[in-house]
Amino acid sequence: MPQLGADMSAGKLLGWRKHVGESIRRGDIIADVETDKADIEVEVFATGVIEKILVQPGERVPVGTVLAVIREEGKPAKPEAPVVPRIGAAEAAPPKPPPPAIPPRPAAPPGEAGRIHISPVARKLAADLGVDVTSLTGTGPGGRITLEDVQKAAEAKVARPAPGEELDKRARMRQAIAAAMARSKREIPHYYLSTAIDLSRVMTWLAQENLKRSVEDRLVYGVLLLKAVALALREVPELNAVWSGGKVVQSSDIHVGAAISLRGGGLVAPALHYTDRQSLDELMKNFRDLVMRARAGSLRSSELSDPTITVTSLGEQGVDAVFGIIYPPQVALVGFGKIVERPWSSDGQIVSRPVMTATLSGDHRVTDGHRGGLFLAAVDRRLQEPEKL
Amino acid sequence: MTQEEIRQTVLRTLGQIAPEADLSQLKPNLRIRDQLDIDSMDLLNFVIGLHKEFKLEIPEADYPKLATLDGCVEYLASHKTS
């Protein structure tokens, strides 16, 4: 069971996408796992053949538990190489013995080893109502199990709904966040910086650009902020790192984690991979997709384990500035507040400008205010040339 | 397309953006954004959804007219060609 972020201690296996004997390639999605925050598509980090499956759908196991044994390509069948689908960059919990075996359940025939087609909402309802989704026949497109199918099944079996479970799930999400944030405050000596940035060039450029674009290709200003952060990190790469085993490990790749609030409460901050190398159009497309999937509760494991820094934007909630808590094992967090028209001094004149406060929370074990200040200055400078982002 | 059909289509599009929301509680004359806790990304996805449903190019400057359910219906009814 991979650790997908510092706030994950256990996960429930929802289903296998591959079966024993099947060849798999690095990057394939092999299983679906439910965490306190979202349903995750688990990608595998080895190429080979699945030799043994050790955890069955429905089991909830601690992080570090071996889910399956993969015989890596070119290796003999004998010495078993247990491959955990990649532990996140965080210091992983030591592997724990798997829990006592669950009562045997009929194994799905190989042909059915694929994912059950069901929407996250329907899956959630099924869990809340105690409906076994494997027993359902979907009536949706392509045999997809719909909300209605779940409701009917629940009524049919006169299920006693368990209203406590929804609360329980929210409570678990809150606990997970609390654990990660408490650890951060305990271990990371934070320093905080803030600077006001004139966004008039960004907003003017964006309005003109969007005028030329069809609805589907329009950009939101948040994408320009993400790109500016990624480019500024090239100048101050110490902030693009993780703290691992008592020392800092700088990352050569820039994977900005975008904090996305979930409507039921809580948040996730999945990675936009190689943020600095994506064009604004690519970034926009991927960001939109990421927000949709985060809210639908369907993220990939690498998106949760790869972020090298987090960006949080609370401007839409009317917040002036956000001084965030660093998400371990990262060593920095960038915050953006709302854009407000403010008096601004320019060439000896007082003018009205759209201004936004950018903040940096930095880990003092890794950087100090001087480097942090250079970083915020670089973000500012990048935002003064939106056409180059 | 009648006003009622437009309204149903708008609600269906909203349902895709905020699947967990109870749209029967939505007040047609109040801002959708305040009632459903949607942000600019959701708003963009909503407009893209309307664009696909109604085959209509909606300029950014017109977004404020789509703030309420009633506003959406009125805007779409007057701009839709067919």
The beta strand positions in chain A, using DSSP E, are 10-16, 23-24, 29-34, 39-43, 48-53, 60-62, 68-72, 190-198, 241-244, 247-250, 256-258, 260-261, 267-268, 271-272, 298-300, 309-313, 332-346, 349-363
Q: Measured between alpha carbons, how far is A106 from A135 in angstroms, rounded to an integer? A: 12
Query: Are A99 and A211 within one domain?
Result: no
Task: Give yes or no for residue A91 having a pLDDT over 60.
Answer: no
The nearest CA of chain A is from the CA of B31 a distance in Å of 15
Span A205-237, pLDDT tens digits: 999 999 999 888 999 999 999 999 999 999 999
Span A170-207, pLDDT tens digits: 788 888 899 999 999 999 999 999 999 999 999 999 99
Span A302-314, pLDDT tens digits: 999 999 999 999 9
Look at A35 and A279; give whichever has higher pLDDT. Answer: A279
Q: How confident is the model at residue A87 (pLDDT cuts 50, 70, 90)?
A: very low
Per the CB < 8 A criterion, the answer to whether A286 and A278 are in contact is yes
**A43: left (phi > 0), else alpha (psi -120 to 50), else beta?**
beta
Query: Are A265 and A127 within one domain?
Result: no
Q: Measured between alpha carbons, how far is A15 from A32 in angstroms, rounded to an integer? A: 5
The answer, for A121 touching chain B at a CB cutoff of 8 Å, is: yes
Q: Decide if B51 and A215 are in contact by the 8 Å CB cutoff.
A: yes
Task: Give the long-range contacts of residues A177-183, CB within 8 A, separation 24 or more.
Answer: A177/A7, A177/A266, A177/A267, A179/A6, A179/A7, A179/A9, A180/A5, A180/A6, A180/A7, A180/A327, A180/A328, A181/A325, A183/A6, A183/A328
Q: Measured between alpha carbons, how far is B21 from A357 in angstroms, rounded to an integer? A: 32
Span A355-372, pLDDT tens digits: 999 999 999 999 999 999
The domain that holds A295 is classified in CATH as: 3.30.559.10
Q: Rounded to the nearest 5°, which phi and psi values hold at B69?
A: -65, -45
Q: Measured between alpha carbons, how far is A4 from A92 in angstroms, rounded to an integer? A: 10
Answer yes or no: is A374 within a domain.
yes
The number of domains in chain A is 2
Amino acid at A121: V
A94: which DSSP letter?
A: P
Query: Are A235 and A368 within one domain?
Result: yes
Q: Decide if A264 and B47 are in contact by the 8 Å CB cutoff.
A: no
ipTM: 0.82
**Of A156, A178, A204, which marks where a domain is finished?**
A156
Answer yes or no: is A174 within a domain.
no
Q: What is the pTM of this model?
A: 0.75
**Of A106, A141, A156, which marks where a domain is finished?**
A156
Answer yes or no: is A175 within a domain.
no
A273 as an active site residue: the answer is no
The answer, for A264 touching chain B at a CB cutoff of 8 Å, is: yes
Query: Are A226 and A317 within one domain?
Result: yes
Task: Give yes or no for residue A102 having a pLDDT over 50.
Answer: no
The domain that holds A95 is classified in CATH as: 2.40.50.100
The ranges assigned to domains in chain B are 26-82
Per-residue tokens: A357: 């406060």
Span A113-136, pLDDT tens digits: 446 778 777 787 777 777 777 777
**What's the pLDDT score for residue A257?**
97
Query: Are A236 and A312 within one domain?
Result: yes
Query: Are A139 and A219 within one domain?
Result: no
Q: Decide if B40 and A316 are in contact by the 8 Å CB cutoff.
A: yes
User: For B44, which of A119, A220, A261 is closest by C-beta distance?
Assistant: A220
Q: Which H helix or E strand runs over A269?
A: none
Instruction: Pick the closest to residue A346 from A386, A384, A385, A387 (CA basis).
Output: A384
Helix A221-235 with A280-296: angle, nearest 10 deg: 110
CA A192, A195, A196, A198 torsion-angle sign: negative
Query: Are A143 and A204 within one domain?
Result: no
Per the CB < 8 A criterion, the answer to whether A143 and A117 are in contact is yes
Answer yes or no: is A161 within a domain.
no
Q: How confident is the model at residue B82 (pLDDT cuts 50, 70, 90)?
A: low
What is A113-129 written as a DSSP string? -S---B-HHHHHHHHHH
Query: Burial level of A79, CB count in 10 A (0-12/13-18/19+)?
Result: exposed
Q: At A313, is the secondary structure helix, strand, or coil?
A: strand
Q: How many residues appear in chain A?
A: 389
Query: Burial level of A211, CB count in 10 A (0-12/13-18/19+)?
Result: exposed
Query: Are A196 and A254 within one domain?
Result: yes
Instruction: Pick the closest to residue A338 from B10, B40, B45 (CA basis).
Output: B40
A5: which DSSP letter?
A: S
Per-residue tokens: B6: 């437009």
Q: Rounded to the nearest 5°, which phi and psi values hold at A38?
A: -165, 170
Answer yes or no: is A165 within a domain.
no
Task: Give yes or no for residue A331 having a pLDDT over 70.
Answer: yes
Query: Are A136 and A267 within one domain?
Result: no
Q: Decide if B19 and A296 are in contact by the 8 Å CB cutoff.
A: yes
Find the domain containing A131 and state its range.
Answer: 10-156
Q: How confident is the model at residue A37 (pLDDT cuts 50, 70, 90)?
A: confident
Instruction: Round the average pLDDT of chain A to a whole number and report it.
Output: 85
Interior/surface letters A370-379, b for 16+ CB within 10 angstroms, e for the rest: ebbeebbebb
Per the CB < 8 A criterion, the answer to whether B30 and B68 are in contact is yes
Q: Decide if B41 and A215 are in contact by the 8 Å CB cutoff.
A: no
Query: Are A100 and A247 within one domain?
Result: no
Q: How confident is the model at residue A165 (pLDDT cuts 50, 70, 90)?
A: low
Answer yes or no: is A176 within a domain.
no
Query: Are A223 and A117 within one domain?
Result: no
User: For B57, which of A210, A214, A220 is closest by C-beta distance?
Assistant: A214
Torsion angle (degrees, nearest 10) of CA A329, A334, A335, A340: -170
Greatest Cα-to-Cα distance within chain A, rounded to the nearest angstrom: 78
Give, rounded to a whole angstrom, the gap between the first and last alpha carbons of chain A.
38
Answer yes or no: is A3 within a domain.
no
* A–B CB contacts, 8 A cutoff, strictly below: 39
**What's the pLDDT score for residue A333?**
98
Instruction: Pick the closest to residue A267 from A166, A186, A181, A168 (CA basis).
Output: A181
Per the CB < 8 A criterion, the answer to whether A85 and A4 are in contact is no
A117 as an active site residue: the answer is no
**Of A110, A131, A156, which marks where a domain is finished?**
A156
Residue A284: CB partners within 8 Å, gap ≥ 6? A217, A219, A220, A223
Look at A301 and A151; give whichever has higher pLDDT. Answer: A301
Answer yes or no: is A247 within a domain.
yes
Architecture of domain B26-82: Orthogonal Bundle (1.10)
